[in-house]
Structure 1
Amino acid sequence: MQEILDASAPSDWRVPDPKNTLYLDLDSGQVVIELAPAFAPAHVANIRAMAKNGYWNGMSINRSQDNFVVQWGDPAEEDKDRKPMGRGTKPKLPAEFARKSDGLPFDRLPDADGWAPQVGFSNGFPAGRDPATNTAWMAHCYGAVGAGRDVAADSSNATELYVVTGQSPRQLDRNITLVGRVIKGMELLSVLPRGTGPLGFYEQPSQRTPIRSVRLAADVPKKDRVAIEVLRTDTPLFTDLVESRRNRRDEWYKHMAGHIDLCNVPLPTRAPPPKPVKPATAPKSKAKPKTKKR
């Protein structure tokens, strides 16, 4: 796989849109999240507005359930005690579990899937698709970011966000709104101590992980933004990368699987390579032309 990535061209990579990129800052470091407005436009709009309002600043990660998710938001249990969402937000959002697949780019994987008639990637997000119903949806792969809800399908307002840190809980697909995925810093979330309360919630406030801030990259000065590129999934190079994982041909493997699960396809990122330095040009002579004596 690394040999394939080493042979990539600049056109095989893309820079995430700062308007759709979140920085979750913890004491231990920074988590970078790419939002997916093509799948959850209403939720993403609320998230953008809340990030601008500093809604999550000073809150905490309140849940870490083993082999499942971590979750953050307002720890207050009563609605009257919760922090106002702020300007530009909507208190009520529609359920955005799936969308029409018409017009949605889809880079299909070659193998069958137990959760969807077809699986692949849409703008880099793992997704399922059903041609019979003309629908598509994001998949709960490792690193997926979703919006918690109550029993009612439309009970999420995107204030409570979670990240999948365990074995792909694909049974959640089309049952909850996914809003994006982590593209950097998953190790900061996956190592958090597991909560001892029901569903992995922390029983004591002291167990929670403080959140310094959640900011939109577009609101951060360019010089302070994370320099990151994401491998495009609509290129021949990505097809080769999938095949290199589908059938491992190095000496250690004695049996080629001939199959790959959607959530086992890697989505590489990198720091942009340094721009080539242009060779210095010799300064032009300022000497005056000689004139002939008469």
Structure 2
Amino acid sequence: MRHRLLAAALALAVATPALAQDAATPPKRKSAKEIIDAAPASAWRDLDPANTLYMELPAGRVVIELAPGFAPEHVANIKALAKGGFWDGLAIYRSQDNFVVQWGDADGDDKAKAKPFPAGARDHLPAEFTRSDKGVRFDRLPDADGWAPEVGFIDGFPAARDPKAGKAWIAHCYGVVGAGRNNAPDSSLGAELYAIIGQAPRALDHQLSVVGRVVKGMELLSVVPRGPDPMGFYEKPEQRAPIVSVKLASDVPVAERTPLQLLRTDSQAFRDATEARRNRVDDFYTVPAGHIDLCNVALPVRTPPKG
């Protein structure tokens, strides 16, 4: 009996340091990808076909989510233009390095050459640079921002807010789509659109009417050959990147649509994935940043799982 008690005591003494070490070792933190992959079905939302554009290029499809909550009159005009086939056969006529690609009618300023608007499209719109923040769900990031008092997400779009002014707007992050204009604030029609392909030009925030953002197909826009300095407008028509068509997803047969889901920005999975990016701890990131920029918070997109 004495030998058995001694053996048990020795075994406990050997095991205790290991148990103490295990207790002191914090559990491995999940990566943003692991968090997103494990997100429940309730954390995802379907892309609304009535507010989705398909821009067909020879190289493939660009999917754009429209933002009627921020620019309702521009979005309505864009829908009318798409239904009337306005962009079909037009082109990307500008590609400025580290800035934007822009598409529409390159001859739009020449009344003799400009493509006519289809029925239902308007030829004058108000500037829609900001929206009221009253009654709006704002999924705020705690991180400081140099361009606005607060930043976060509204309706899934990267947004900024000025609570004192009661205004909110979509931030010019990579992939955001806006309506080009001349000097007059109310000179945009939604016919000439641009997408950000470079570092976020936040100085453009609340200076233009932002109408949405690319959710799939940025790799097709970002590789369009750059135009010449200073602003990337192609000098010759043959240099332009042709557009096959632009249609509302709701006008495309269901079998031909691109089914997509976006992670809800009000979900715990989105918050946890953002925190994992803010404070990365793994074999490569030796010092957590403790900060994340609004435009570095990518919104996860997936194809809905079958079944």
| Aligned-residue CA RMSD (Å) | 0.8
In the alignment, structure 1 residue 54 sits paired with structure 2 residue 94: no
Which residue does 1:164 correspond to in 2? 196
2:279 pairs, out of 239, 247, 251, with 247
Conserved? CA contact 1:16–1:34, under 8 Å: yes
1:15 pairs, out of 46, 52, 58, with 46
Distance 2:278 2:117 in 1: 45
In the alignment, structure 1 residue 73 sits paired with structure 2 residue 99: no
Conserved? CA contact 1:231–1:269, under 8 Å: yes
Which residue does 2:265 correspond to in 1? 233
Which residue does 2:56 correspond to in 1? 25
In the alignment, structure 1 residue 181 sits paired with structure 2 residue 213: yes
2:155 pairs, out of 104, 116, 123, with 123
In the alignment, structure 1 residue 270 sits paired with structure 2 residue 305: no
Bigger shift: residues 189-198 or 32-41: 189-198
Q: CA deviation at 1:266?
A: 1.1
Gaps of 5+ in 2: 1-31
Q: CA deviation at 1:193?
A: 0.5
Q: CA deviation at 1:106?
A: 1.0
Query: Which letter does structure 2 place at the counterpart of 1:31?
Result: V
Please state which structure has a larger fraction of its residues in helix: 2
SS in 1 for 2:47: coil
Q: CA deviation at 1:197?
A: 4.7
Q: CA deviation at 1:105?
A: 1.6
Runs of 4+ in 1 over 6 A off after TM superposition: none
Q: Which protein shows a greater Rg? A: 2
- TM-score, scaled relative to structure 2: 0.88
Distance 2:282 2:229 in 1: 45
SS in 2 for 1:81: coil
Q: CA deviation at 1:198?
A: 3.5
* Count of aligned positions: 275
Conserved? CA contact 2:175–2:214, under 8 Å: yes
Which residue does 1:289 correspond to in 2? none
Percent of aligned positions that are identical: 60
Q: CA deviation at 1:144?
A: 0.2
Counterpart mapping for 1:92-107 below 5 A: 92-107=124-139
Distance 1:80 1:43 in 2: 25
Q: CA deviation at 1:185?
A: 0.2
Which residue does 2:116 correspond to in 1? 84
